């Protein structure tokens, strides 16, 4: 393990032998990271299967950096297992991409082409003033279901919430995710044939899970010291499942939502949709003992997968001095009468009114019954062979320059766009995610209230039965992918491209030769290597 410490105002790292994470002192220096994308035989829930992972681990190594640095990530594709995709592409969820770095954004067939086997690519990402909790994952098809996911934390040496907690290091990163014991290619074929989204075998908490009938894999342990306060950075790395986080006998004070500092808001339970992140402060103010850190989930009917038992996704919050044993209390889904987070109650620490919209867009989400086909405004998104960014750099500017199935909305520069998602009857909220930027949540799916004065800003929002309204700015030219973070739905067409200022793209974006070589190399691959 590695630990992070504050010393003379700088954030430093004690390295483990594996060198799993990299962080350097505060400043504008470059931080190089190497991720080898490999197939590895792993058993997160006790069932061994071939996986696709970064540097041989699930989740992948945490990327720990500091505000103002430039992150340089070299991805080496070393995949060989033909039961899964052999190419790959990395997305850095929530990281704001500068307009002139759009080609490093990592979305296959929108801003780039995938990286083929035995090839490498280096993503350069200036982090600027951004801070908070983020994550990386494969953006190709549903590949991250096979394991390619990991945490990113951008620490702020001047964190306005620093007085609220004592510990914020690698040990306080909480990664939950859904896990399947089958590889994605056969599961995707089954989904396309039936329209039924695969139900996960288990959920994982920091890479560890259990399933009905499986071995009693040791629970992960989160260690605390009585009297200290901990900033837990919760990341839902699922491709479908919604996790509800709680800790027996402890409450949670939210101080960050998807990289945005919030007014402290105390609750007992936090529901986290796929792709969402929260920082919560937990005071270790109870008797020295072992407590359940609960992470039950929902995601399809357990009747479709008898392995699934949502109450088995959890960890032990262990106080220093407590015996190394399980808590004596029952495995529950959390406090039955606890106060649950209502997203509409969140407020940013620095309020920013949502600008008056210049353009209004309504997005209707509809599924074709019995088929794996999702539509946005009667269009099911299909990735084009030539990425959107390549087309724009070659002169594409009008709707007729794109296939209808690219579902591309061409937007003026420096405008405020309002997107309305009308209420729908689907039984699960769709976590819609914006690449490259975040948005104002003017109306949350959690409430009927409309808030234009101080709404929360985030980059993943639930779209469901109550309806959702958001606004974003087109200050950054580029084609920005906007899609459901239930990746099975995204693969079935639940996605759009928000193309801001095509002329500005041609003025600002100047790709490297390395990027220009990606598409010819990928297109030359036989289908089994793509």
Query: Residue 425 has what pLDDT?
Result: 76
Query: Residue 428 has what pLDDT?
Result: 74
d(CA 412, CA 275): 28
DSSP 95: P
Query: Residue 2 has what pLDDT?
Result: 31
Q: Where in the chain is the domain with CATH 2.60.40.420?
A: 3-160, 175-345, 359-529
Query: Residue 22 has what pLDDT?
Result: 43
Query: Residue 424 has what pLDDT?
Result: 85
Burial class of residue 420 (count of CB atoms within 10 Å of its CB; 0-12, 13-18, 19+): middle
Burial class of residue 337 (count of CB atoms within 10 Å of its CB; 0-12, 13-18, 19+): exposed
DSSP string, 146-173: GT-EEEEEEE-TT-TTGGG-SB-SGGGE
Report the DSSP beta bridge partners of residue 50.
41
Q: Does domain 175-345 have CATH number 2.60.40.420?
A: yes
To which H or E segment does residue 32 belong? strand 30-42
Q: Does domain 359-529 have CATH number 1.10.10.10?
A: no
Kindly give the confidence (pLDDT) of every residue in the chain, 530 residues in length, as a single tens digit, with 9 standing for 90 and above: 333 322 223 333 333 333 344 444 455 599 999 999 999 999 999 999 999 999 999 999 999 999 999 999 999 999 999 999 999 999 999 999 988 999 999 999 999 999 999 999 999 999 999 999 999 999 999 999 999 999 999 999 999 999 999 999 999 999 999 999 999 999 999 999 999 999 999 999 999 999 999 999 999 999 999 999 999 999 999 999 999 999 999 999 999 999 999 999 999 999 999 999 999 999 999 999 999 999 999 999 999 999 999 999 999 999 999 999 999 999 999 999 999 999 999 999 999 999 999 999 999 999 998 899 999 999 999 999 999 999 999 999 999 999 999 999 999 999 999 999 999 877 679 999 999 999 999 999 999 999 999 999 999 999 999 999 999 999 999 999 999 999 999 999 999 999 999 999 999 999 999 999 999 999 999 999 99
Q: Are 315 and 206 in contact (CB under 8 A)?
A: yes
d(CA 42, CA 52): 10
Model-level pTM? 0.95
d(CA 345, CA 362): 24
Q: Give the CATH class of 3-160.
A: mainly beta
d(CA 16, CA 154): 20
Q: What are phi and psi of 270, to 5 degrees?
A: -125, 115
Query: Residue 4 has what pLDDT?
Result: 34
For residue 266, how many other CB atoms are within 10 A of its CB?
12
């Amino acid at each position: 393990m590695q630990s992070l410490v504050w010393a003379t105002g700088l954030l430093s790292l004690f390295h483990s032998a594996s060198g799993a994470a990299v962080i350097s002192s505060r400043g504008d220096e470059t931080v190089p990271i190497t991720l080898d994308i490999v197939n590895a035989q792993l058993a997160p829930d006790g069932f061994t299967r071939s996986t696709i992972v970064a540097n041989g681990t699930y989740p992948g190594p945490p990327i720990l950096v500091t505000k103002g640095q430039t992150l340089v990530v070299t991805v080496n594709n070393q995949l060989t297992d033909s039961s899964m995709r052999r190419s790959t592409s990395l997305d850095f969820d929530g990281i704001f991409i500068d307009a002139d770095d759009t080609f490093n954004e990592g979305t296959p067939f929108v801003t780039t082409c995938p990286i083929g086997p035995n090839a490498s690519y280096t993503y350069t990402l200036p982090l600027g003033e951004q801070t908070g909790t983020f994550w990386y994952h494969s953006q190709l098809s549903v590949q991250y279901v096979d394991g390619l996911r990991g945490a990113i934390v951008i620490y702020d040496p001047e964190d306005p919430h620093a007085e609220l907690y004592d510990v914020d290091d690698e040990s306080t990163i909480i990664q939950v995710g859904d896990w399947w014991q089958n590889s994605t290619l056969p599961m995707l074929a089954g989904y396309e044939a039936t329209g039924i989204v695969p139900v996960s075998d288990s959920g994982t908490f920091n890479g560890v899970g259990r399933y009905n009938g499986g071995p009693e894999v040791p629970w992960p342990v989160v260690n605390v010291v009585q009297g200290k306060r901990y900033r837990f950075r919760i990341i839902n790395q699922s491709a479908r499942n919604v996790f509800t986080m709680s800790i027996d006998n402890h409450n949670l004070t939210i101080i960050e939502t998807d990289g945005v500092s919030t007014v402290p808001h105390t609750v007992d339970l936090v529901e986290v949709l796929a792709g969402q992140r929260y920082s919560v402060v937990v005071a270790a103010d109870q008797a020295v003992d072992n407590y359940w850190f609960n992470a039950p989930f929902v995601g399809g009917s357990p009747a479709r997968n008898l392995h699934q038992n949502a109450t088995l996704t959890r960890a032990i919050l262990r106080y220093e001095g407590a015996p190394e044993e399980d808590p004596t209390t029952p495995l529950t889904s959390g406090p039955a009468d606890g106060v649950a987070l209502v997203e509409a109650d969140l407020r940013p620490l620095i309020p920013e009114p949502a600008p008056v919209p210049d353009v209004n867009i309504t997005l209707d989400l509809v599924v074709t019954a019995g088929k794996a086909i999702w539509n946005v405004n009667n269009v099911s998104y299909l990735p084009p062979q030539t990425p959107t960014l390549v087309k724009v750099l070659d002169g594409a500017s009008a709707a007729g320059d794109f296939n209808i199935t690219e579902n591309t909305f061409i937007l003026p520069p420096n405008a405020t766009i309002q997107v309305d998602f009308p209420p729908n009857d689907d039984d699960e909220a769709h976590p819609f995610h914006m690449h490259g930027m975040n948005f104002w949540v003017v109306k949350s799916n959690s409430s009927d209230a409309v808030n234009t004065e101080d709404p929360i800003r985030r980059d993943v929002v639930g779209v469901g039965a109550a309806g959702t309204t958001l606004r974003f700015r087109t200050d950054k030219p580029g084609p920005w992918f906007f899609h459901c973070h239930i990746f099975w739905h995204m693969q079935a067409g639940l996605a759009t491209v928000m193309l801001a200022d095509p002329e500005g793209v041609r003025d600002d974006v100047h790709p490297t030769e390395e990027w220009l070589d990606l598409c010819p190399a990928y297109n030359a691959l036989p289908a089994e290597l793509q």
